[in-house]
Amino acid sequence: MRRAVAVLLLAALSAAACTGGSEPVTGPDPNEVGPTGGVAGSEPAPRPPVAGGTVRVRAATEPDGLNPWAAPASDGVSVVTRPVLAPLWRIRPDGELEPWLLAGEPEVRTEDDGTLTIVYRVRDDAFWSDGQPIDGGDVLFTLEACRALPPDQRGGQPCGAVDPAASSAEGRQATVAFTRPVGTWRTLLADLPVLPEHLLDGRDVRSSWSQRLPVSSGPFRFASWTRGERIVLVRNDRWWGEQPALDRIEVVFDESAGVAELLDGTIDVATVDATLSNVERARATPRLRVAVDAGRALETLDFNVASPRVGRAAVREVLAAALDVEVLVDEAMRPIVPAIRPRRGLLVDTAPVAATGPTEGSGGGAAGLDAVGCGTAADGVAVCDGAAMLLLLDVADGSWQHPLVAEYVASQLADVGVQVVPAGDTEEWDLRVGEVPAADPMAMARRWRCDSPANDQAYCNPALDDLLDRAGRLPPGDERDTVLAEAELMLARDRPTYPLYPVPEMLAYRSAVRGPAINSGPWGLTWNTEQWARTAAAAD
């Protein structure tokens, strides 16, 4: 019965997601490349790209300002700034870093006390669009601007460990000294862009560039902003890389635009909800190309540790064990991304060693609740610590998947005598369905730190904070992985959050465009605009 209800719900959600137009749904195209990603479309052969033209990119939200140093991650300003302002590194779709403004891998000097000195060299051909060279002084100026940010606004970047007195710049080179071991130095300035010292020296970096970007270091430069409508970028003729084929990119603001707007030509490139109906509809027409894959964000179930009903880790573990995530993934997600699978861990995707204590060997379900001292009232509702297990479930805004997951959670927990009801508008909650970015485990882990502003679950374990501090001092590799695995085990024992599955992502674009590719990391949709082009069928 539960499976039938879930399937009906999925069908209803898929139907609701199909808006506008009357394109037939005939299933995946036979020319689809790969079952879980790649590009699919029904045009018989690629058409050659041409020089010039405009591509319209859909952005779900319009930013308040254009300064990526002052905007929250949810603002969406990066869709505009990625093609305009370059960091030292670029984060590719596979999560690997490649030198971007850098001429190559920096020189690394490890001192006797374990501290680091890194020598960065900017490309000799890198210039700002106003003709000024991008040099070591810009790098040091940017690091000082990063140091001036409050710690919770640095995006996990280790600029607080930079010793400005021992650092120096000469020409294109910046020698950066760190006051302590820093394992994450490679991610330094891989997200926030390098700033122009010659324009911003003596000014408040965070209050600058609210309405326009006066200079560019990327393949495109800012041209205009029509509020409520679009931002226009044009080719940057001084960019150091191979010149883009496109003349301009228009970032169009439309919260609800999707497959229908791609079909009618209103937009050319967009990430859209990865619903089954959207995938089938996009693949059914030769006018669109689509890529679908498991992203690096995680769908999760959070527990409110302050709640008297789920305050004990043993109870939280039993509730998590009662969930059959495989059923959820099989019924709701695999029709979209066939190779998707449940996520086993939060920081690392490995199954942690089973926690010891009251829940060991008890599993989930009613027997598991009995094993941790809970009982069942006459009406069949479980009772723990004198409180009926009537749990308030909060559903985070922003994803079509959250209500679907909530239905599965409520149905599966009902089987063990736990009643789940919507939290509604109340601020009180016991469970919460949402998602967390998982591109970098160190950035993801901040949400569970005792002093993190992002920690709204009342969870605090100083021992976990110590492990995260240790991991942050280690470079990526086996030693850091061992520390993260220990932190993963601690999170599994405390169970503030239960991982469910990677969130599917869908990129769709018109067949008259070449180059867009999914990047589920922080660089997002416009990560490679220098490779975009229109085809000879630009009027399609």
Quote the CA–CA distance of 478 and 490 in Å, as a whole number: 19
pLDDT of 18:
40
- Whether residue 215 contacts residue 230, with contact meaning beta carbons closer than 8 Å, is answered with no
- Whether residue 273 contacts residue 19, with contact meaning beta carbons closer than 8 Å, is answered with no
What is the H or E stretch that residue 479 is in?
helix 478-494
3-state secondary structure of 361: coil
pLDDT at 19 over 60: no
Greater confidence, 326 or 521?
A: 326
Greater confidence, 136 or 258?
A: 136
Q: What are 40's strand-pairing partners?
A: 290
Distances (CA, A) of 486 to 321, 396, 506: 20, 29, 34
Q: What are 293's strand-pairing partners?
A: 505
Structure tokens at 237: 């003729």
**55-114 confidence digits (pLDDT tens):** 999 998 898 888 888 776 556 788 999 999 999 999 898 888 899 999 999 999 887 777
pLDDT at 121 over 60: yes
pLDDT at 380 over 50: yes
Of 131-140, 365-374, 407-416, the range with the lowest mean pLDDT is 365-374
How confident is residue 357, by pLDDT bands cut at 50, 70 and 90? very low
pLDDT at 12 over 70: no
- Sequence-separated (6 or more) residues with CB below 8 Å from residue 426: 392
- What is the mean predicted confidence (pLDDT) over 395-408? 88
Quote the CA–CA distance of 39 and 31 in Å, as a whole number: 9
pLDDT of 209:
86
pLDDT at 16 over 70: no
Q: What percent of the chain has pLDDT over 70?
A: 85
- What is the mean predicted confidence (pLDDT) over 514-521? 90
- Whether residue 298 contacts residue 499, with contact meaning beta carbons closer than 8 Å, is answered with yes
pLDDT of 13:
36
Quote the CA–CA distance of 388 and 370 in Å, as a whole number: 14
3-state secondary structure of 486: helix
Greater confidence, 231 or 22?
A: 231
Tell me the three-class secondary structure of 18-59, residue by residue.
Answer: CCCCCCCCCCCCCCCCCCCCCCECCCCCCCCEECCCEEEEEE
How confident is residue 533, by pLDDT bands cut at 50, 70 and 90? very high
- Sequence-separated (6 or more) residues with CB below 8 Å from residue 258: 19, 270, 272, 273, 278
**298-321 confidence digits (pLDDT tens):** 999 999 999 988 999 999 999 999
pLDDT at 241 over 60: yes
Of 13-27, 134-148, 417-431, 472-486, the range with the lowest mean pLDDT is 13-27
- Sequence-separated (6 or more) residues with CB below 8 Å from residue 413: 319, 322, 323, 391, 419, 420
How confident is residue 265, by pLDDT bands cut at 50, 70 and 90? confident
Greater confidence, 288 or 476?
A: 288
**Crossing angle (nearest 10°) for helices 313-321 and 478-494:** 100
pLDDT at 43 over 50: no
pLDDT at 17 over 60: no
Q: How high does pLDDT run on average in the chain? A: 83
Q: Which domains does the chain have, with CATH numbers?
A: 7-65+215-293+506-535 (3.40.190.10), 73-207 (3.90.76.10), 295-503 (3.10.105.10)
pLDDT of 1:
40
Q: What are phi and psi of 189, to 5 degrees?
A: 60, 40
CB atoms within 10 A of CB 98: 11
**444-457 confidence digits (pLDDT tens):** 888 899 988 888 99
Greater confidence, 39 or 106?
A: 106
Quote the CA–CA distance of 89 and 101 in Å, as a whole number: 7
How confident is residue 21, by pLDDT bands cut at 50, 70 and 90? very low
**Of residues 221, 264, 265, 213, the one with CA closest to residue 239:** 221
pLDDT at 44 over 90: no
- Sequence-separated (6 or more) residues with CB below 8 Å from residue 1: none
Instruction: Tell me which residue has tokens 């109906």.
Output: 277
Structure tokens at 112: 């006797």
pLDDT at 10 over 90: no
pLDDT at 512 over 60: yes
pLDDT of 327:
94
- What is the mean predicted confidence (pLDDT) over 138-156? 84
Structure tokens at 77: 């300003």
Quote the CA–CA distance of 167 and 177 in Å, as a whole number: 5
**174-229 confidence digits (pLDDT tens):** 999 999 888 888 878 888 899 999 999 988 888 888 888 999 999 999 999 999 99
- Sequence-separated (6 or more) residues with CB below 8 Å from residue 125: 240
Q: How far is CA 458 from the centre of its chain?
A: 24
pLDDT of 329:
95
How confident is residue 45, by pLDDT bands cut at 50, 70 and 90? low
